[in-house]
Amino acid sequence: MKSKQGRFVLALASLLMAGTAWAQPSPDPAAPPAASADARPGMGRGMGPGAGMGPGHCRQADPAQPNCGWRMNRRNSPDYGLMSPDERAAHQSRLRNMQSREECLAYLQDHHAQMGERAKAQGKTLPAPRMRLCDRLPPASTR
């Protein structure tokens, strides 16, 4: 008797699953395909490589991306405190848009002279630059 009850319960469960699957609506063939998970708004696929909330594509200095990894601040730019925030933004923008090493060297030489005058007017001495920013750019002859 127990085996008949077991078979009945098994048959009933199978019928219930088949009925549930049969009752699901079928996709409309004329409707456009559903968007993939990547195309929907939201957090995306979670933790993993790719776009999202992280340090971004620019973690280290990369010769293929010469402006990658460089940030102007008080520790790496001796003239940081001598410029206003607007001047710093303009200076950074100009440095990022340099095309050749010669152009960069000429600009930095002029800029360093201007900052030296400001430092002298404030009774400070302007130390030599701590980095060689122009080395990341190709010479004008290779462009």
Q: pLDDT per residue over 30-56, tens digit each?
A: 666 655 555 555 555 555 555 555 555
Asked whether residue 142 is domain-assigned, the answer is no
pTM value surpassing 0.75: no
In a domain, 101, yes or no: yes
| pLDDT attached to residue 136 | 78
In a domain, 140, yes or no: no
More confidently predicted of 38 and 115: 115
**Do residues 138 and 100 make contact, with C-beta atoms less than 8 angstroms apart?**
yes
Residue 104 lies in a domain: yes
Structure tokens belonging to residue 118: 């400001």
- Position 73 in a domain: yes
pLDDT in tens, 60-101: 555 555 555 556 676 667 788 888 989 988 988 888 888 888
Q: Is residue 119 part of a domain?
A: yes
Q: Would residue 31 count as lying in a domain?
A: no
Question: Tokens representing 4?
Answer: 């008949």
**Domain total in the chain:** 1
107 vs 12, 45, 63, 111, 142, CA distance in Å? 84, 45, 21, 6, 19
Give the tokens for residue 22. Answer: 């049969």
In a domain, 80, yes or no: yes
β-sheet bridge partners, residue 65 = 62
Q: Is 115 exposed, middle or buried (0-12, 13-18, 19+ CB in 10 A)?
A: buried
Q: Which domain holds residue 65?
A: 60-134
- Chain-wide mean pLDDT for the chain? 75
* DSSP for the chain, written as a single string: -HHHHHHHHHHHHHHHHHHHHHHSPPPPTTSPPPPPTTTSSSSTT-SSSSSSSSS-S-SS-BTTBTTTT----TTT-TTGGGS-HHHHHHHHHHHHT--SHHHHHHHHHHHHHHHHHHHHHTT--PPPPSS-GGGGSPPGGG-
